[in-house]
Amino acid sequence: MHVTVDEKNALDAYQDTTHDTAVYPRTHALGYLSLGLLAEANEFVQAEDALRAFDELGDIMWFVSELANLESLRLSELVVTSTYLPPIASDVDGAGYIVSFLAEASGAMAKHLRDGTRYRNELADLLAKTTLTAMSIVDILSSSTEKSFIDLLQENRNKLLSRQSRGKLRGSGDHR
């Protein structure tokens, strides 16, 4: 899958923003991020329409970005160097792949917590696959939403910066 320079730059800016707006106990980072990813994947799967699915993909990307930050990985580099081509034909296919990748990533993190095993390479591969699949889903949804992957990152980035400026990073719900 070809990743444009604009998409690469948008990923970098987004990943920097997620790090700057991340509020969670660092001592429990893996647990928080893996549980949050699974919750967002569930919300994505249950989205009633394309716009809601688009928003939930943005939330998934926040957790993906923070996992990459935790391991000092750059999503832009992961997607550019990945050989993975998302084999999806619909957003429903994509949802299944994303849930599968996130479950695998959670499993790798659980093994790390239990055994102390390193999971960085496996996690890097799964983060790249999740990001590339999200990009493909956005392409599919774009006929309904008229939005691109760059729009997804920018809209979610703007939401995060707005919450930060209003002191609303903590709490729950999309409209805080």
- Domain segments of the chain as ranges: 5-164
Token pair recorded at residue 157: 């980035």
Query: What is the pLDDT, as a whole number, of residue 5?
Result: 94
pLDDT at residue 86 greater than cutoff 80: yes
Mean confidence (pLDDT) of the chain: 85
Average pLDDT over residues 75-103: 82
pLDDT at residue 45 greater than cutoff 70: yes
pLDDT at residue 15 greater than cutoff 90: yes
